[in-house]
Amino acid sequence: MGKVSPVSIKYLIRAKFTANGVLEKPDVIGAVFGQTEGLLGEDLELRELQKNGKIGRIEVETETVEGKTTGKIEIPTSIDKTGTTIIAAALETIERIGPTDAKVTIEKIEDVRTSKREYVVERAKKLLESLYAESPETKEMSEAVFTGAREAALVELGTEKLPAGPDVSSSAEIIVVEGRADVINMLKYGLKNTICINGPDIPESLKKLGSEKEVTLFVDGDRGGLLVAKKFLDAVKTAFIAQAPSGKEVEELVGKEIFQALRNKVSVEEFFKQSDRGERKERRNEEEKKPRDEDRRGERHERGQRFKSNYEMRGGYRLRTEPEVHAEPVKPTAEEKEKIQGIYQGILGSKQAFLLNQNLEIFRKTTITNLLDALYDLERGGKQVYAIIMDGTASTPVARVSERINCRFIAASNFTIDRETSIYLLSF
């Protein structure tokens, strides 16, 4: 008699039965073969299928309690799902097992390959965890290799040495992004015709490229991205504008999101029409909330007056305000700039932020996502930061809190600060 190979099993029929009498396993197996014989035709005859190795050994479990027998039947098959379901349905036609009446019900048909795939995935996860536990530097090495490979493809263009992909010079169409990290992320997904603005001012090299090539501007999905677009369009001839999903930056997008955003690029006119519609919708929402806000404002004003009176009776008080913004930020010395640049180059690709004291010594390290919380902690503790170096985008909230703790310099991959600031911004 043939036997189905364990590696070729595709499906497992699981059934249960009940019988009004005492039964043994051979009674159940005999009923399966006997009462389905001739029912399904020659192609699905159980005895022939088992001889040919298309059906495996039929497993039966029985339990007898107070003269009644219940149990389970399992039939492994290597035939297709249609044939398997027909055989399963045939089992439910069994009305007698041995000398007693019986009823068979199919519980489920299990795809054995799915179970194997789930096992493989779970086992692989555990093996990977053990690998990292034994060699924690493996992940860091892998990330360093991938980051290094992407950065190796970077070139520098123009007198400003703008970070760019290797195909910018030869391509008739280019994509302009905000910062160096954006270019690296685009290279990761094969977009080699990308170049960045790399700072608050629009470089002359980009103005020249705009007159020679078709330019698509790809900005972050926030208000900062809109401000960058307005400033860029005043200086560079632009054909299309693409924008990252709301609240996301280009440097953190995955490939699917990048290509979706580029497919949805629109003309300059349509981009600002969409922006105007969004702003009008926000204004309508604000108008709808205005009556409630005015009521609350009156209550807050009354509480504020009581608060003020109490403090005046105790000898006066001082309101906490944001520091005055200087007209011109203080530039770093050549020595300071060189040291900041060295630290900045050392954290590229790490998504970290370093906080430095007046001696340009690192006194705190954090991640980009936790930077704002770290700055708030320092502010609450009355501490100061002389410089911030970050592998990411410096936003308006970061600049605002940094001013309050007397920060002088911020070095970042990109900037989306939509206000005047007393901090000197460095982009390498």
Starting at the edge strand found earlier in the chain, the sheet holding 214-219 runs 155-157, 162-164, 194-196, 173-177, 214-219, 240-243, 266-267
What's phi and psi for 59, nearest 5 deg? Answer: -100, 135
Q: Identify the CA nearest to 372 among candidates 418, 405, 342.
A: 405
| Nearest alpha-carbon partner for 12 in 60, 73, 102 | 73
Q: Quick one: 170 and 99 in the same domain?
A: no
Of 234, 264, 294, which residue sits at a domain end? 264
Assess if residue 343 is contained within a domain.
yes
Asked if 351 and 406 sit in the same domain, the reply is: yes
Placement of tokens 């992940």 in the chain: 139
> Taking 60 as the threshold, does the pLDDT of residue 313 lie above it?
no
Locate the DSSP E strands across 257-386: 266-267, 352-356, 362-367
- Residue 58 sits in a domain of what CATH number? 3.30.70.60
Residue 139 lies inside a defined structural domain of this protein: no
182 and 244 Cβ atoms separated by less than 8 Å: no
- Same domain flag for 184 and 106: no
**For residues 354 and 390, is the Cβ–Cβ distance under 8 A?**
yes
58 class by beta-carbon count within 10 Å (0-12 exposed, 13-18 middle, 19+ buried): middle
CA–CA dist 294, 279 (Å, integer)? 22
Query: 24 and 101 share a domain?
Result: yes
What are 245's two structure tokens?
């999903």
What average pLDDT score do residues 209-235 get?
89
Distance, in Å, from the CA atom of 197 to the CA atom of 187, rounded to the nearest integer, reads 16
The pLDDT of residue 106 is above 50: yes
Q: Does position 364 have pLDDT exceeding 70, yes or no? A: yes
Tokens describing residue 374:
């770290």
Torsion angle of C-alpha atoms 331, 334, 339, 340, degrees rounded to 10: 30
- Could you list the residue range(s) of the whole structural domain that residue 91 is in? 6-114
Three-state helix/strand/coil letters over 231-265: HHHCCCCCCEEEECCCCCCHHHCCHHHHHHHHHCC
Mark whether 42 and 92 lie in a shared domain: yes
Same domain, 404 and 341: yes
Q: Residues 110, 157: one domain?
A: no
3-state secondary structure of 101: strand
Within 8 A by CB and 6+ apart from 427, the residues are 179, 180, 198, 199, 411, 412, 413, 414, 415
Residue 263: half-sphere exposure toward Cβ, Cα within 13 Å: 6
- Answer yes or no: is pLDDT of 404 > 60: yes
The answer to whether residues 107 and 205 belong to one domain is: no
316 located within any domain: no
Find the DSSP H helices in 155-194. 180-188
Domain boundary among 235, 264, 293: 264
Residues 152 and 259 placed together within one structural domain of the fold? yes
At which of 213, 240, 264 does a domain end?
A: 264
CB neighbours of 195 closer than 8 A, spacing ≥ 6? Answer: 157, 162, 163, 164, 165, 168, 174, 175, 176, 177, 183, 206, 209
Q: In which residue are the tokens 């990109």 written?
A: 414
The helix-helix angle for 180-188 and 255-263 (nearest 10°) equals: 100
Q: pTM here?
A: 0.38
Asked whether residue 419 is domain-assigned, the answer is yes
Q: What is the CATH number of the domain that holds 191?
A: 3.40.1360.10
Exposure pattern of 206-231 as b/e (b: 16+ CB <10 Å)?
A: beebbeebebbbbbbbbebbbbbbee
pLDDT at 304: 53
Across 24-95, where does the E strand assignment appear? 59-65, 68-77
Containing H/E element for 111?
A: strand 100-111
Tell me whether residue 84 is in a domain: yes
**Statement: residue 241 has pLDDT above 90:** yes
| 153 shares its domain with 241 | yes
What's residue 385's pLDDT? 94
Q: Is the pLDDT of residue 314 over 70?
A: no
At residue 127, the pLDDT reads 82
Helix H or strand E segment including 100:
strand 100-111
pLDDT category at 102 given cuts 50, 70, 90 is very high
Q: In this predicted model, what pLDDT tens digit does every residue of 250-264 receive, in sequence order?
A: 999 999 999 999 999
In a domain, 301, yes or no: no
Mean pLDDT of 39-46: 84
Q: Tell me which residue of 137, 146, 171, 144 sits closest to 157, measured CA to CA.
A: 171
Tens digit of pLDDT for each residue in 148-171? 555 557 888 889 999 999 999 898
Domain count, the chain: 3
Instruction: Give the CA-trace dihedral at 231, 236, 239, 242, to 10 degrees.
Output: -40
- Residue 105 to residues 67, 79, 92: CA-CA distances in angstroms? 20, 21, 6
Report yes or no on 298 lying in a domain: no
In this structure, the answer to whether residues 150 and 258 fall within a common structural domain is yes
Is 71's pLDDT higher than 90?
yes
Question: What is the arithmetic mean of pLDDT over 58-67?
Answer: 91
Q: Which two tokens stand for residue 65?
A: 């309690």
Q: Are 325 and 422 in contact (CB under 8 A)?
A: yes
Residue 325 counted as domain residue: no
